Amino acid sequence: MKVELKTADFADTGIMMHICNDAFRADYEKFGESPCYGRSAQSFVDSMKNGIVKLICVDDSVAGVLTAFRNNNSIYIGTLAILPEYQRKNIGTKALELFVKQYPCRSYDLDIPAENKHCLDFYSKLGFKETARRTDGKVQLVCLKKEMELFDEMDELGSPTGRLVSREEAHRTGAWHRSVHIWVIRGEKVLMQRRAMSKDSFPGCIDASCTGHVDAGETFTEAAVRELKEEIGLEATADDLHCFMQQTVINKDDTLFNREYNVVYLLDSSVPLDTLKCDRSEIDDIFWIDIESLRSAVELGNKKYCIIPSEFRAIYSLIKRGVK
């Protein structure tokens, strides 16, 4: 089954009206009205003039319609309608995945009837979260939002291609993007983190003090400052960070293909650490470990650790030289 998105034109208004009426007839009969039922041809013409309108095609047959509108860094999905005979076949999921790939954005918003449990479950599984509720006529609507991580895609030489990729796409396709590692060191003690089990890469593993991706439009140093605050509650400035090394990071297995241009930072030892706290969505725990114990784990290939051996050896050499 091949699912594609094709740009609609004015000649498609009739079939789009038919799709919406068939897809939302049950809602209309249940609630007495439905925001997407009974749409006029002119409403679709206006959508094509002012927004994005896509036909959802399955093996070259039109199975649904998707309409959306840009609003600064967000896209509002006004309609996602699938003909009844095509429903519950994962077509809506594939259509949304294709749409997000074609139109990367910071966030996606939509509204659905509060009593439609199937729709709520469907969008929840796709990462949408409730932000508010409102009433449209007789229907109470749930407002849903999905936040996205967007990265600047890089080429093989480390230069931006001008294209944005989502975290999901980057980790699925191996698109080059950027990341940072920050090490917090005090004498011969190193601050470590235990990654949350919900992470898509190395869940539950022990990693450097703070790690993260560089968001679209950020510099490496801006990302490092942000990640320190978000992950471990540490307020730092660009002047507190010392660029230690640059490297490429490649991880590939059955579920992940990750390629990063990575910059490693050291946090200045003068920065106070009395505000440290975990972001539990990212990290399960932070703790101190002495450098020799860490060396034993890394060099023996302990699978609980996801530290790059060459990166650690450079850090170890620095500590043993007594460099602050």
Per domain, the residue ranges of the chain are: 3-106, 150-320
Q: How far apart are alpha carbons 100 and 35 in whole angstroms?
A: 23
Instruction: Note the pLDDT tens digit of each residue in 238-292.
Output: 999 999 999 999 999 888 899 999 999 999 999 999 889 988 888 999 999 999 9
The letter for the amino acid at 258 is N
Distance separating alpha carbons of residues 146 and 148, to the nearest angstrom: 6
Closest CA to 37 of 53, 54, 20, 12: 20
β-pair partners for 64? 56, 82
Return the residue matching tokens 């978000």: 230
Closest CA to 81 of 27, 36, 29: 36
d(CA 52, CA 234): 42
Q: Which amino acid would we find at residue 288? A: W
Q: What digits encode the pLDDT tens for the residues 152-176?
A: 999 999 999 999 998 988 998 999 9
3-106 CATH fold = Aminopeptidase (3.40.630)
Mean pLDDT on 91-113: 92
What is the fold of 150-320? Nucleoside Triphosphate Pyrophosphohydrolase (3.90.79)
